[in-house]
Amino acid sequence: MILIADSGSTKTDWCLIDDHGKRKRISTQGINPFYQSDDEIGHILNKELLPSMDAEAVSVDSVFFYGAGLRPEMQPRVGKVVASVFREASVEAESDLLGAARALFGSEPGIACILGTGSNSGLYDGVSIVRNTPPLGFILGDEGSGATLGKLFAVSLFKGLMPAGLLEEYLAWSHQTVADVIQRVYRSPLPNRYLAGMSAFIHEHLDIPEVHELVVGNFRSFFRRNLAPYESSHLKVRAIGSIAYYYRELLDEAARSEHFCVDRIERSPMDGLVKYHVRF
């Protein structure tokens, strides 16, 4: 029996696959070793995951855990915590970027992208990520992400670069003032998630040329600053994440403008990961 995890800071999606291919989906709170101790991670596994698995837990012989924040130095730590819960199983803990690459390409080479609240990309040789442009977070980078899109939109909105009336419409939609927005960005926790939350409003106004241009420009910056350094524009580009999925037409427009070909977009990596691990 195989257990696969796709974990972010907010939520972890689990899929249990038995020897007959039957799947069971489970959701727990997110796991991120940058923000949680080993005890906190273990608590989530013991108090949220195991009760949902019942007797099936003892039959797990392989665990594949893919997570945000799983840099190489963090992988043994998370793997050890998971192994302490599934004592009879082999455990592999890897980055969400490798998970995205395996889900999108299997054993084929290509450029794997994650475009959600944050962004990331990697040159995948069919086995591992061989090059990675550091995304740097939404303050210094994260081009193409929801957080950066929200930041660019807020700046344009508050500096009067958007059509008349759109600022007032946004403030009414969000039930906030300009001062509230500034407070949330500079004084509240997780400003990246807050900024990414503006995407819902942005998506409703793509018929406005300035908004359309802003979104496409954000994606073009992602291709120029993150993918162009790989010097592999002949390779297929595939993407995972809510921003890629819901703005797929504009992502494709930006890709073509920067001479890249995006031939597959998925909202979640889980189906691809199941296919990868059941096959391999």
Residue 34: the pLDDT is 78
Percentage with pLDDT > 90 across the chain: 79
Q: How confident is the model at residue 280 (pLDDT cuts 50, 70, 90)?
A: low
Half-sphere exposure of 265 (CA within 13 A, CB side): 17
Residue 114: the pLDDT is 95
Looking at residues 161-179, what average pLDDT do you find? 96
**DSSP structure class, residue 49:** I
DSSP class per residue in 217-250: HHHHHHIIIIIGGG--TTS-EEEESHHHHHTHHH
Tokens (6 digits) for 121: 């990309």
- Each residue's pLDDT tens digit, 249-274: 999 999 999 999 999 999 999 999 99
Q: How confident is the model at residue 17 (pLDDT cuts 50, 70, 90)?
A: very high
Residue 217: the pLDDT is 98
- pLDDT above 70 for 246: yes
For the CA atoms of 196, 198, 200, 203, the dihedral, rounded to the nearest 10 degrees, stands at -100
The identity of residue 254, as a single letter, is A
Looking at residues 198-210, what average pLDDT do you find? 97
Lowest mean pLDDT among 29-33, 45-49, 85-89, 214-218: 29-33
* Maximal C-alpha separation, the chain: 63
Fold of the domain built from segment(s) 108-268: 1.10.720
Lowest mean pLDDT among 134-138, 181-185, 209-213: 134-138
Residue 35: the pLDDT is 76
Lowest mean pLDDT among 17-21, 74-78, 147-151, 226-230: 17-21
- Domain ranges in the chain are 2-88, 108-268
- Decide if domain 2-88 falls under CATH 3.30.420.40: yes
Tokens (6 digits) for 35: 């923000």
Residue 185: the pLDDT is 94
